[in-house]
Amino acid sequence: MIVASKTFLEFEREVPMLIKLIESQKKLNFAIVLVLSLSFFINICGIGWGLPSFHGWAIDEIIPAQVLDGIEQGFSNGWYYKYPPFHYYVLTIFYTPFLILDWLNVVDVSSLPTYTVLFYIERFVSVVMSTTIVYLVYLCGLEIYDKKTSILAALMTALNCTFVYYSKTANLEIPFTFWFVLSLLFYLRILKHQKMRDYLLFSTAAVISVCTKDQAYGFYLLTPIFIVLVHHLYQKRQNITTNIVHSLTDKKIIFSLLLSVTLFFILQNVIFNLEGFIAHILELTSQAGDASKKFDKTIIGYLQLFRQTLKLLMYSLGLPVLIVGSLGLLIAFLKPKKNYLLLCSLVPTLSYYVFYIGIISYVRDRFLLPITIVLVFFGANFIFMFLICNQKFFKIKTIFVSILLIYTFIYSASINSLMTQDSRYYVEKWMKQNIRGDALVLGIGHKEYLPRLQNFKYVSLQSPSLSNSYLLQLNPDYVVTTSSFDIRRSKKGTSRYQLFSSLYNEKNSYKLVLKYKSKPRWNLLRHQEKLSYKDTNLDKINPEIRIYRKTP
């Protein structure tokens, strides 16, 4: 009876603790749902930027025409594009209902309304994948540290400026980053548990990432070597007589390697499209040797490259997040045993930077998107340690962290503000009200940089051979220019530079009738104008549009 009463009393004391634990878990689960909902809302806002259109306003998007062309050729018979085929396969699955309706003559996929729906589908796939990336970051965090810090890492990922932009476009930045983060999750699980399943899933995700965008190969040059090394040390602990040959011939390593090679050849469709695969590789290698590389392959050149990398990381993450990420990185190196898995996440990042960015010797903000996600793990860890290190000032520190997160939210949401208030929307309305439909309009620049001109008789040109003589020969009624393709992006002394100079100074028969760029109040990205157009595509949002009218 005495033992029973003691057991009952202990149980009675533990019940409130269990209830509190359950309630705290519910709060944490609600928190990650809230973060995912916030991410989805931020990502989907502005999804219709530049639509309806046959080309959109985002540079390097996979447009529906490219996917339809691949489907028509069965992604075989010499088909290739500058990107690998896997994401085209994914989009084909979502296109299937419309292809069936087109075959039944119910809809016409080449008509603007249906084509625009396909465009929305592509961008919505990016929205879903980007929101899933936030959840994958949370799962990676659970492998590295506790649930609260994982939620914070997920939130900071969702508030990444470059991430928010590409999350709503049909570019391949989000898809290939999705597969990379998925492979990162299995990589961390390999290091923790050494299970065959994680080896095979890591190989699958890694191959798909490379087959989505070639540059992902950089992540997987050093990483497999590190995995083999860790696997060997694990085997050594199990059996002291194990040597490196035994570890290399272990079934986990062999099966993973066989799966990677087989899957790569299948997804690249090498058997049925060898000609297209070779053509793709040749185009890829020819681009790698382009003379447009910004930095020399010298010590000074690499230091300049690193400096530019930091500049673009600050642009993507915002200065506060970059600072806490850097501090988190420093602390992790000072306490390597405590932060072992956290530091292991740097191996794919280092591999990517050395074997991709270092080789091409230039960097853009979109190249750094996966690196920003890894850096966020360190930033979240630093913030959590900052909060708990001294309870005396906990409230003050909480306010400080809250301000940081609110600023970062406004900073990333500025992308949506710029997209939804893009200057070209106003310009299009102005043109509709002030330019007659039969007027000949010359748009100078890529179609993606200009207002949509399909309602007019127009010519869109971006040739370097543009000149004043060509303008006189074409004799358009109106000329439309954009800051995304203007005198600042033309070499002095060229005919194109002289053309812009004549227009801007009104030295020819064209007079400026409209100069417009919207100025959203909710915009912390004003410094984007200081970046070179070679560094980012975000400067293509909300360009300054000028319209010149021919005078009698």
Q: Residue ranges of the domains in the chain?
A: 23-418, 423-550
Residue 139: is its pLDDT beyond 70? yes
Distance CA 259, CA 279 (A): 25
Q: pLDDT grade, residue 247 (50/70/90)? A: confident
CA distances in angstroms from 61 to 57, 66, 428, 474, listed in the order given: 9, 10, 22, 30
Q: What is the pTM of this model?
A: 0.92
Q: pLDDT grade, residue 268 (50/70/90)? A: very high
Q: What is the DSSP letter of 485?
A: B
* pLDDT tens-digit map of 527-547: 555 555 568 888 889 999 999
Burial 433-469 (b: 16+ CB within 10 A, else e): eebeeebebbbbbbbbbbbbbeebebebeeeeebbee
Q: Determine the pLDDT at residue 18.
A: 47
Of residues 240 and 287, the one with the higher pLDDT is 240
Of residues 211 and 243, the one with the higher pLDDT is 211
- Beta strand 457-461 with 440-444: parallel, antiparallel or unpaired? parallel
Best CA proximity match to 212, nearest among 179, 184, 260, 164: 179
Residue 288: is its pLDDT beyond 70? no
Residue 485: is its pLDDT beyond 70? yes
Residue 404: is its pLDDT beyond 90? yes
Residue 12: is its pLDDT beyond 70? no
For 313-368, the DSSP string reads HHHHH-HHHHHHHHHHHHHHHHSTTTTHHHHHTHHHHHHHIIIIIHHHT---GGGG
The burial of 243, by beta-carbon neighbours within 10 Å (0-12 exposed, 13-18 middle, 19 or more buried), is given as exposed
Q: Determine the pLDDT at residue 534.
A: 67
Q: Determine the pLDDT at residue 527.
A: 56
Residue 128: is its pLDDT beyond 50? yes
Distance CA 43, CA 123 (A): 10
CA distances in angstroms from 157 to 232, 329, 345, listed in the order given: 33, 16, 15
Distance CA 147, CA 28 (A): 7
The fraction of the chain above a pLDDT of 70, given in percent, is 91
Q: Determine the pLDDT at residue 528.
A: 54
Q: pLDDT grade, residue 242 (50/70/90)? A: confident
Distance CA 513, CA 493 (A): 27
Residue 499: is its pLDDT beyond 90? no
Q: Determine the pLDDT at residue 346.
A: 97
Residue 21: is its pLDDT beyond 50? no
Residue 354: is its pLDDT beyond 70? yes
Listed range (252-261, 266-275, 286-295, 485-494) with the worst mean pLDDT: 286-295
Of residues 456 and 181, the one with the higher pLDDT is 181
